Amino acid sequence: MWCIQSALKKALSLAILVTISGCYTTTVKYPNICAGDEACLRNLNAQTLAQLGHVEAATALVCEDTRVADLLRYQCIRTDELN
């Protein structure tokens, strides 16, 4: 009987430990990989927008680069052409 009670106490302790450890979150902070590079930040933001399903917004963002806009002629709307 004592052996069963000891095993139950150990199992209960383990269950409590697992439950409590599941309540904590760990925040991992990454350094800014673009470090002031505007083109890098623009492309990273465009990638994030595309992953969120905002493909048109992502395309508009990368089209701010004239080289990309020249390559994607028909997908990019240039603001200088709207005026």
Q: Residue 59: CB partners within 8 Å, gap ≥ 6?
A: 46, 72, 75, 76
Residue-level pLDDT, tens digit, the chain, 83 residues: 556 667 777 777 766 766 666 666 667 776 778 888 889 999 999 999 999 999 989 999 999 988 988 888 888 875 555 44
CA 67 to chain centre: 27
Report the C-alpha gap between 56 and 75 in whole angstroms.
Answer: 9
Q: Tell me, what's the pLDDT at 30?
A: 67
Q: Tell me, what's the pLDDT at 20?
A: 64
Q: Tell me, what's the pLDDT at 24?
A: 65
Q: Tell me, what's the pLDDT at 54?
A: 93
Residue listed under structure tokens 């020249």: 70
What 8-state DSSP symbol labels residue 39? Answer: H
CA 45 to chain centre: 10
Q: Tell me, what's the pLDDT at 9?
A: 74
Helix (H) or strand (E) holding 10, with range, is helix 2-21
Q: Is the pTM of this model over 0.95?
A: no
